[in-house]
């Protein structure tokens, strides 16, 4: 029964990632202890002040990533988060984002990183859509 309910919850949450810019299969998680979120200003300041100490991961489709991403971001699909693809330091400052606040790919990626033992995991909820809307610089 729990598996059925979990499957239903994931299916219902896919609407937030239904853009052609996002992997529509990315689930939206509702974990009890969700990682802290960053505002666009907090992320921009963090990147300006500590760019080499901040690991930003774009959980959107690879096509979306190539069209433009947050500066210093690396592409990492939400379902490909492994220790081998993350920094060795479990205290590293990690930030995950996806398309917009309704997309769950960043949440799934952050949850996986937390399960792998990373202790400094954050989500930028605005996603690339919010970054673009605020006319922030993009890397290609």
The residue extents of the domains of the chain are 2-133
Residues 108-129: what's their mean pLDDT? Answer: 97
The token pair that represents 100 in the structure block: 């917009």
- pLDDT of res. 17: 52
The token pair that represents 131 in the structure block: 């970054």
β-bridge partners, 74: 57
Q: Are 5 and 82 in contact (CB under 8 A)?
A: no
For residues 31 and 84, the model is more confident at 84
Tell the CATH topology of 2-133: Oxidized Rhodanese; domain 1 (3.40.250)
What's the whole-model pTM score? 0.79
pLDDT one-digit tens code per residue, 46-90: 999 999 999 999 999 999 999 999 999 999 999 999 999 999 999
């Amino acid at each position: 029964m729990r598996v059925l309910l979990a499957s239903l919850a994931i299916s219902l949450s896919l609407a937030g990632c239904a853009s052609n810019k996002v992997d529509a299969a990315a689930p939206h998680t509702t974990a009890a202890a969700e990682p802290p979120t960053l505002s666009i200003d907090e992320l921009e300041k963090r990147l300006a002040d500590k760019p080499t100490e901040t690991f930003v991961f774009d959980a959107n489709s690879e096509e979306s990533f190539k069209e433009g991403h947050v500066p210093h971001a690396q592409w990492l699909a939400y379902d490909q988060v492994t220790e081998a693809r993350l920094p060795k330091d479990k205290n590293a400052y990690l930030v995950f984002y996806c398309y917009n606040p309704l997309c769950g790919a960043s949440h799934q990626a952050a949850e996986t990183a937390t399960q792998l033992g990373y202790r400094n995991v954050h989500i930028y909820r605005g996603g690339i859509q919010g970054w673009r809307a605020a006319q922030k610089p993009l890397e290609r």
